[in-house]
Structure 1
């Protein structure tokens, strides 16, 4: 049976965090608030837990989840290289609604799905999420909903869809905006591409104009979106349901 903790009640935060941390350690799933939409979380370094996350959502390995972190310093541990332009983006938009795709550290012992050698990383701007991440380390997190359904804006909506597949629900009321993160592909800045650039895979909480203020000419010109997600978009965990 799932446990639900209302983190708007200070008396429930500590037991909620304890139960969530223990569930993650056991390879189980947790629903938690973020600054965008509610997230379905699993231990990023436990392949069986990540598979549970995908199964709970009804999603295949071709749509691997992004990874949420507690601080910018963790990005260097997960990505093979962090170019200066990415440092600039992190300084401007983290914590916040920007997910950054980079080549993953090849030595990492994890299996997020068919990532094509990349990792999509974000630091959320939410007290509950950051506190849990500081205790568990990086978490694989996708939007807390069934694939094809609207992203949950509170834990109750997530529970109605995901039910007993989740061990712990951390309720913190409705999210402030319910807009999913913007996802950018910055891999060409790190892989020796002759024409390095940053591509927007999904525009969300951070606008193109905001990105352009930091990136200038490194930001690819706007193009018509493709009707079907390509491999890199899939590697970032983007889907029609508005992923984390």
Structure 2
């Protein structure tokens, strides 16, 4: 049976984050608000939990799960290198709606899907998400919706789509922005925008210089 916690007030938030921490530690799925849309997440290092996440969404391994972190230090531990631009982009836009594709640390024991040795990592600008991430460490988090359906911007929408596959729902109210994060691939010689999103390309170019796009 799923549990929903009203995290708008301080007391409810503390109770909800504690319950979500326990659920993540048990290998269960949780739904959390972020600065973009609601996300469904689990411990990034529990293979069975990541498989459950993909199954709950109806999504294949060919679409690997991104990772959310609560600190820049945690992101550094997940990757081989930040390259020429990773640190500058984190300094400019984290926490916030910028996802960076980087080479994953090869010593880590995880399975996020068919990543081809990379990881998509982001530090969200949402206090509830950050509170939980600082308790759990890195979490595999994807948008809280069934594959092919619109991303959930309220906890009710997430619960309607995902139901009892999720152990804990954290209700932070409606998401302020229904815009996904911008995704920049830093694994190639020239940084490349893979998805246009909440951070305009015009704001990223001054940080990295030339920026390739899919257009």
Q: TM-score, normalised by structure 1?
A: 0.86
In 1: Cα distance, 2:172 partner to 2:13 partner: 10
In 1: Cα distance, 2:162 partner to 2:81 partner: 36
The residue that corresponds to 2:135 in the other structure is 135
SS, match of residue 120 in structure 1: strand
| Cα-Cα RMSD | 0.8
The residue that corresponds to 1:211 in the other structure is 204
In 1: Cα distance, 2:96 partner to 2:54 partner: 24
The residue that corresponds to 1:234 in the other structure is none
Q: How many angstroms does 1:213 deviate by?
A: 1.6
Q: How does 1:81-120 map to 2 (within 5 A)?
A: 81-120=81-120
Moved over 6 A (4+): none
Q: TM-score, normalised by structure 2?
A: 0.98
Q: How many angstroms does 1:138 deviate by?
A: 0.1
The residue that corresponds to 1:239 in the other structure is none
Q: How many angstroms does 1:11 deviate by?
A: 2.2
After superposition, the C-alpha distances for 1:115-136 in whole angstroms (9 at most, x for unaligned) are 0000000000000000000000
Q: Number of aligned pairs?
A: 215
After superposition, the C-alpha distances for 1:28-65 in whole angstroms (9 at most, x for unaligned) are 00000000000001100000000000000000111111
After superposition, the C-alpha distances for 1:46-99 in whole angstroms (9 at most, x for unaligned) are 000000000000001111110000011112110111123111100000000000
Q: How does 1:5-154 map to 2 (within 5 A)?
A: 5-154=5-154
The residue that corresponds to 1:192 in the other structure is none
Q: How many angstroms does 1:8 deviate by?
A: 0.9
Task: Out of 161-170 and 77-86, give the one that drifted further.
Answer: 77-86
SS, match of residue 187 in structure 1: coil
In 2: Cα distance, 1:84 partner to 1:123 partner: 19
The residue that corresponds to 1:185 in the other structure is 185
Q: How many angstroms does 1:156 deviate by?
A: 0.9
The residue that corresponds to 1:202 in the other structure is 195
SS, match of residue 55 in structure 1: helix
Unaligned runs of 5+ in 2: none
In 1: Cα distance, 2:17 partner to 2:68 partner: 16
In the alignment, is the contact (CA less than 8 A) between 2:194 and 2:214 conserved in 1? no
In 2: Cα distance, 1:11 partner to 1:132 partner: 14
Q: How many angstroms does 1:26 deviate by?
A: 0.7
After superposition, the C-alpha distances for 1:179-227 in whole angstroms (9 at most, x for unaligned) are 1101111002xxxxxxx2001110101111111121112x11x443xxx
